[in-house]
Structure 1
């Protein structure tokens, strides 16, 4: 078919359009030339092709059709009385009464970037950043939502997340700050901030019932489990700040289909729970190839080949008990523990946090494990490799562009064109989201694509370095966060004079988050599974309170089982809440 025959109706492109299109690519076409005439014809033919697709109705894969639940899908935005921690985005109750799976009777919240049919998809951002100036109502259920409902779980709603999932602390959401359940006024970490707060409520309530915590302030309704998202630490960081377990699985183990992406290279979703057993249980429900997500590879197990992590963990413990080893001096016998030397040299690591994590790591010796310090010099460059490898693609997704590989995009979620409104909305709410755009442009203008290509080469080097270290040990241990949760900046409080809770001084927002991901983000690009587990307490910087400290446990790719064993064996020496 000829180019001319592809065009129908009156031409829609002009020579000015051709000039602009050429300019966007950095070249010019001589006005009035034969070349200009030819490319004007090409432009009109191409525009006719664009219109043909634009006129088609949107298509939703039937595999993502909403699951049939009990009753109508309804939700509401809870007020401050019902939602004192601001951890809920929207509340609902979705369940399949006939489902009798492993999550029966358990309540679950999902991060507000996960599609739940009938609920708004908020992304923690101002609706003004999205098409038509409002958050879309999702017409689909993400694969993880389907699997949770099929396993008998009850989804109680969506949890507040940081603005566009681009911040490591919990005061950038359009709805306002998310309070730490252990210390209101302090951060829960981000970007899965609401998830961490809602799950940790159970531990706070337990501490009150036992008399260990005599304070009385409103918490609101919590949940048993949550689905978080992690591109640089956004499951692990809030888990560490909040005293829960947060597992970023191997890249490609859990499908990301139906979840708003930042970059397929680093996108992960995973469980956030109060116990190791629940992390194992939820992982088994969520994991497995879905036939849609391009992040999954031939290494990803089919659903019927996913290990039964919970059963396998219990079988391992039972074997230990039979051998008389499930004791305070034998629970970790046979495990090889590596303490990652360079992880304690990162900028901004609070010595008090380092001491708690080192003490937690040393506990494994008394539990019978083989414990050694492991040096991986390239770990010091891990955050830089993550940044340069991942940054160029992130604005691509913020603008609503599809990935390079076929995936199920979310056409109902369409960001507005990035421009001055984007800057004005976010610069004093979440400057990191603006900085990512600035970084990507800086990278392109000064270095071109060569530097990002080089960073991708070093991702393979970094993966190899971790793989070699993990031949000597079963897991690597690192601090998770550099400090205990910081206090929310005073400038983020919503007042009559500042109804949006925006800070006039950008650095007030940035400073508490600097360095937070130095020990977490590298495992997003290499794809290794990593879990934050609570191991103790640290004093807050302002006031007399204390907040949880988390330790990161990293294993070989596809070896989540070792992480679960190591974390559970550590608890034989005493629960983290009992430490001082």
Structure 2
């Protein structure tokens, strides 16, 4: 009996199929040969195995079953422009776990539109034409972070607009249109967690209005206390910097990424975006900890019951300093060692005024009695290049819906269509960066083969070691986060009678404002160090009148988020950023 008859009884692969399969691997099998007959048999046996798995029903891991919520049924809607003037909401809902009480009780949260929330669409900021059946899937699962936030008493108010496929650092590539900065509509709020940045910052804008510090009266819509962002190269920290809030990319592997659409496990991170440093610490404590599913987590990742009490530890540290008379504008940072990363001020595109604001913010630590020194990490200037080459080849792999090499939960409900002409036509003038990723990966393979990515991975270890060595001398490294204040939304995104969808053929108008935005952020995605953007002042916009926030990035040793929180909290004793 043949192998085929053991499986299906009838061959499904022809000799032409065998020829094509061999050609795809760069070789030929002599036609009519014994070899061809054998591999034809093997191909049919393998195809029968494929069909056996293809016929199985989709499996939904019971560990990701949606949390029971008040009211039972999960309902959602897409808010109109009157309710959503900043275009920061993807979908709105109200989800609160039944009888849940915890540290986030009474707090409202939005999650980036690449995070699975059971019963809600998973939009990814992209056209539904890029997905199976031309529809955004309704998620049958709750991401682990969603489960944990609901269990801690939080109320999830909806999903926040994100940039197209999470592949842009500004806020005008989403399929739903531009996301406006809450401080100054018409200007970018940063990406790719653009809606998260806008929604969290609404509370600060409203407070500024109540206190008379902001006289503008444009509509903002409903905001939230906190948000769950995603970060592969700066996509939490940049919108936080542009929006004047706190955005933490935690240590790689500290928070499980299970149930969140990936770009590359090497660089995937999720983390809190909040109005205060205390809320960032509180939210991290809820979200962190091993989940038994995510391969990004390692033996270094703490079990849930071993996650530090970041908020409590910060409170205790402040109390101890207050007890000894140090919690003052003269002594709050005493004992902290601050490093100003020299090379971070030499990156291309850094606005001199932004550099001056960050330097002044860093120098404040001297008056707070910290030890402040300039630290040089020469390899930092190559960090963005190392990140690009190390991560780029695998990104098309995930955009195309392929699973990673290590076992993980692959979100079977999310099935992208094959990358083809429709992909290019849909994205080239909406988010050219998403097309460029494919072009880059193909160029690398065609010209260099896999050796270049392997080399870049070895330099990731070198880069991590370089930062580690610097962090032996200091507790944190400080860098600029956003190179400029939020730029004006490109004219080519404006809706006109001739251009109803709001995007023209001026492709470079979209690309140019984002060039260089991640030069100080992306290297910490490959090295895994925790990095947070904190607001430290105002910068003037270039076009017209107005001002927008400037962020300073604080980087610590891996697994040392506690020092990031301490440094930021001590800085605030010298005065809040909004008053600068």
Pairwise CA distance, 1:494: 2.5
Once the two structures are superposed, what CA deviation does each residue of 1:472-506 show, in whole Å capped at 9, x if it has no partner?
Answer: 00000000011000000011122332222223121
Q: Does 1:150 align with 2:151?
A: yes
CA distance in 1, matches of 2:508, 2:28: 42
Q: Distance in 2 between matches of 1:472 and 1:60?
A: 48
Q: Deviations 1:364-401 (Å, cap 9, x if unpaired)?
A: 00000000000000000000000000000000000000
Is residue 535–residue 549 contact of structure 2 (8 Å, CA) maintained in 1?
yes
Larger mean Cα displacement after TM superposition, 126-135 or 23-32: 23-32
Aligned to 2:577: 576
Q: How many equivalent residue pairs? A: 579
Secondary structure of the 1:337 match is: strand
Tell me the CA shift for residue 35 of structure 1: 1.5
TM-score (norm 1): 0.99
Query: What's the CA shift for 1:98?
Result: 1.1
Match of 2:136 in 1: 135
Residue deviations 1:309-359 (CA, integer Å, cap 9, x gap): 000000000001001000001000000000000000000100000000000
In the other structure, the counterpart of 2:230 is 229
Q: How does 1:331-350 map to 2 (within 5 A)?
A: 331-350=332-351
Mapped to 2, the partners of 1:192 and 1:474 lie a distance apart of 28
- Matched with 2:69 is 69
| Cα distance in 2, alignment partners of residues 5 and 114 from structure 1 | 45
Distance of 1:190 and 1:413 partners within structure 2:
22
For residues 448 and 254 of structure 1, the distance between their equivalents in structure 2, rounded to whole angstroms, comes to 33
Q: Is the 8 A contact 1:391 1:440 kept in 2?
A: yes
| 2: CA distance, partners of 1:348 / 1:181 | 24
TM-superposed CA distance for 1:99, in Å, is: 1.1
Q: Distance in 1 between matches of 2:2 and 2:287?
A: 49
* Structure 2 match to 1:35: 35
**CA deviation digits over 1:402-447, x for unaligned, max 9?**
0000001111100000010000000000000000000000000000
Please say if 1:206 is aligned against 2:207: yes
Match of 1:478 in 2: 479
Aligned to 1:540: 541
What secondary structure is seen at the aligned counterpart in 1 of 2:123? coil
Aligned to 1:178: 179
Q: Distance in 2 between matches of 1:257 and 1:2?
A: 42
Output aligned runs, 1:352-363, within 5 Å.
Answer: 352-363=353-364
CA contact (8 A) 2:68 2:98 kept: no
Structure 2's unaligned 5+ residue stretches are none
Q: Secondary structure at the match of 1:125?
A: coil
Deviation of 1:2 (Å):
7.3
Change over 3 Å in CA distance of 1:33–1:345 after alignment to 2: same
Whole-angstrom distance in 2 between the partners of 1:66 and 1:326: 44
Tell me which residue corresponds to 1:13.
13
In the aligned structure 1, how far is the partner of 2:313 from the partner of 2:501?
49
Q: How does 1:294-443 map to 2 (within 5 A)?
A: 294-443=295-444
* 8 Å contact from structure 1 (residues 538, 548) kept in 2: yes
Question: Do 1:176 and 1:494's aligned partners in 2 also have CA atoms closer than 8 Å?
Answer: no
Partner of 1:45: 45
SS of 1:487's partner is coil
Q: Compare 35-44 and 538-547 and name the one that shifted more.
A: 35-44
- Name the structure 2 match of 1:125: 126
Q: Aligned partners of 2:416 and 2:488: how far apart in 1?
A: 31
User: 1:241-256 maps to which residues of 2 (within 5 A)?
Assistant: 241-256=242-257
CA distance in 2, matches of 1:429, 1:74: 30
Deviation at 1:6, TM superposition (A): 4.4
Structure 1 distance, partners of 2:26, 2:196, is 45
CA–CA separation in structure 1 for the residues paired with 2:240 and 2:193: 9
Which 5+ residue runs of structure 1 have no aligned equivalent?
A: none
Counterpart Cα distance in 1 of 2:275 and 2:539: 19
Write the distance in 2 (CA, Å) between the matches of 1:116 and 1:229.
15
Q: Is the 8 A contact 1:245 1:533 kept in 2?
A: yes
For 1:393 and 1:273, locate their aligned partners in 2 and report how far apart those are by CA, in whole Å. 31
Greater Cα shift, 93-102 or 150-159: 93-102
* Residues in 2 aligned to 1:311 and 1:499: alpha-carbon distance in whole angstroms: 51
Aligned to 1:25: 25
3-state SS, counterpart of residue 464 of structure 1: helix
Measured in 1, the distance between the counterparts of 2:414 and 2:498 equals 32
Separation in 1, partners of 2:265, 2:75 = 31
Give the match's secondary structure for 1:98. Answer: coil
Post-superposition Cα deviations, 1:142-196, rounded to whole Å, max 9, x if no partner, equal 0000000000000000000000000000000000000000000000000000000
Match of 2:218 in 1: 217
Coordinate RMSD, CA, aligned = 0.9
Please give the secondary structure, in 2, of the residue aligned with 1:569. Answer: helix
Structure 1 runs (4+) greater than 6 angstroms displaced: none
Q: Could you list the per-position Cα deviations for residues 1-26 of structure 1 after superposition, in whole angstroms to 9, with x for gaps in the alignment?
A: 97445431321111111111111111
Aligned to 1:449: 450
| Matched residue, 1:190 | 191
> 1:565, 1:472 → 2: CA distance?
17
Matches of 1:139 and 1:526, distance apart in 2: 33
Per the alignment, residue 488 of structure 1 pairs with: 489
Aligned to 1:89: 90
Contact persistence 1:429–1:501 (CA under 8 A): no
Of 530-539 and 19-28, more deviation after overlay is shown by 19-28
Contact 1:6 1:48 in 2 (8 A): no
